Amino acid sequence: MAKYNFEGDYSSFTERQLSFINEVVHEQDIKVKKVVFLQLGEAGDNFMGNLKRIKIEGENGNMSMIIKTAPPNEIARESYQSGLMFKNEHIIYTELLPKCDQLQKAAGVPLEEHFKYAKCYGSLSEVPNEIIILEDLNESGYSMMDKFTSLPDKYVRNFLKSFAVLHSLSYVLKSQEPEFYKQLKEDLKDHWTTFADFQIKMLKENMEPGFLEIIQNEDHKSFLKNKIADAMVLRKEMTISENDRNHTIIQHGDGWTNNILFKLEGDTLQSVMVDYQGANNNNPMSDILFMLFHCTDHEDRSKHFYDWIDYYHSEMDKFLTYFGLKVNDFYTREQLDDDLKTYAKIIFGIVILMVNVIQRDSTEAEKMKDEMQNIKNEADMAESMKAQDLTPETVDRINKKVGGLIETLHQFHLI
């Protein structure tokens, strides 16, 4: 491996991945001298992949890249649909996002209004050597917000505008390049709908009871019963029934705090979404509610919920005017309002499942990630998510998050 002139810990990579990294690095016009592998972020920032930052030193300058690979454990790969999810992200970076650039340039969309994304230096979808190499957004001043804190209104609106632009581009594709969209729809898979009956049964009989042990309010416990398993069943039904509907879009699929980076310069706020492994053809509210439930608290939702929904819909209409289109030709506000209640049930169950993971502190998350990526059978997955050894602070965070979501559902009659 010395032939690559790599330093640091790269022991988790396969020989094929190292060869690919070497190829991509030497495509950069900086006359590479050495490459240093560094750990990226804290445990809990990412659970479904392994992340590294590489620092590249060259005669003509230095640069940094982010490397993302799938877990090597075969049972973990199968349990978490790693192959499917990495293929989704490969398609987004190599097909959809470049096509979006073409569409926006052809329509004369001002550069500052273009959908922003991290440059992809290379992507390999070859099983089991999947790897994606991306621009290091930290180099441009972008950073991640605190996942335990509700995003401020300005940041939520910026996030919603990013969704509005991304979703609108699906409607542009449906209008201008329907065959391209049709192929995307076939190739991108919703990992939540791949749950087999036995996995849903395991959620109901093992994971849910383990999660309910954390919940301290008896009314909340009663309310939560069967919500996770029921959400998976309904998600599968709705994804199938809505597959050919005019208002569906290619969703991001995992839009929470750790999957968007912000940059604030003066009064100007910019953002870039990352991690497209959950991308698939789905209802717009799947993305919007997922973000609002994860990234905001009940206090802020109680003040701004419908203002945020209005803002999202109006930003879609504004962006579509660049292409001579109207949002109501695809997604009326009446349809959106109908979808809120249906998708609130689905997204609530999914978010509740994830809250048990992402509300853990870095020490707890590191232990959990290690267990998740080294499972020996499906039952180990449920075991890794049990409540033992959680700090009182984590238990409080989970209970506050869950209680706030239940309050939101009741306040806005979403369930």
pLDDT per residue, tens digit, the chain (415 aa), is: 447 889 999 999 999 999 999 999 999 999 999 999 999 876 555 556 789 999 999 999 999 999 999 888 787 788 778 899 999 999 999 999 999 999 999 999 999 999 999 999 999 999 999 999 999 999 999 999 999 999 999 999 999 999 999 999 999 999 999 999 999 999 999 999 988 777 888 888 888 998 999 999 999 999 999 999 999 999 999 999 999 999 999 999 999 999 999 999 999 999 999 999 999 999 999 999 999 999 999 999 999 999 999 999 999 999 999 999 999 999 999 999 999 999 999 999 999 999 988 999 988 888 877 776 666 666 666 666 666 679 999 999 999 999 999 999 999 999 8
Q: How many CB atoms lie within 10 A of CB 13?
A: 22
Q: CA distances (Å), 1 to each of 7, 22, 23, 26, 306, in order?
A: 10, 11, 14, 16, 56
Residues 50, 40: Cα–Cα separation, whole Å: 9
pLDDT given at position 71? 83
Q: What is the pTM of this model?
A: 0.94
How far, in Å, CA of 167 to CA of 179, rounded? 17
Burial of 244 (0-12, 13-18, 19+ CB in 10 A): exposed
Phi/psi zone of residue 81: left (φ > 0), alpha (ψ -120 to 50 degrees), beta? left
Distance CA 357, CA 248 (A): 29
Nearest alpha carbon to residue 346 among 290, 413, 401: 290
Query: What tokens were used for 113?
Result: 């209004």
SS3 for 144? strand
* H/E stretch holding 383: helix 378-384
Q: How many CB atoms lie within 10 A of CB 371?
A: 15
Return the pLDDT at 1: 43
Find how far residue 343's CA is from the centre of its chain.
Answer: 17
pLDDT at 204: 85
Radius of gyration of the chain (CA): 21
Say how far apart CA 391 and CA 401 lie, in whole Å: 16
Residue 284: the pLDDT is 99
Cβ-count burial 118-142 (b if 16+ within 10 Å, e if not): bebbbbbbeebbbbbbbbbbeeeeb
Are 79 and 191 within 8 A, CB to CB?
A: no
pLDDT at 177: 98
CB 89 within 8 Å of CB 279 = yes
Residue 295: both structure tokens together: 């990234």
Distances (CA, A) of 150 to 101, 147, 153, 294: 32, 8, 9, 9
For the chain, first and last CA: distance in Å?
A: 56
Please name which of 158, 172, 132, 181 lies closest in space to residue 291, comparing C-alpha atoms. Answer: 158
Beta strands 260-265; 120-124: pairing state: unpaired
Q: What is the signed CA dihedral for 41, 44, 49, 52, rounded to 10 degrees?
A: 10
Count other Cβ atoms within 10 Å, centred on residue 392.
Answer: 7
* Cβ–Cβ under 8 Å, residues 48 and 82: yes
Neighbours of 241 (CB within 10 A): 9
* Beta-sheet strands, E only, within 70-180: 120-124, 131-135, 143-144
268 forms bridges with which residues in the sheet?
Answer: 265
Provide the sign of the torsion angle of the four alpha carbons 95, 97, 98, 99, taken in this order.
positive
Q: With residue 243 as reference, give the H or E element that holds it.
A: none
CB 172 within 8 A of CB 109: no
Which helix (H) or strand (E) segment is 53 a member of? Answer: strand 50-58
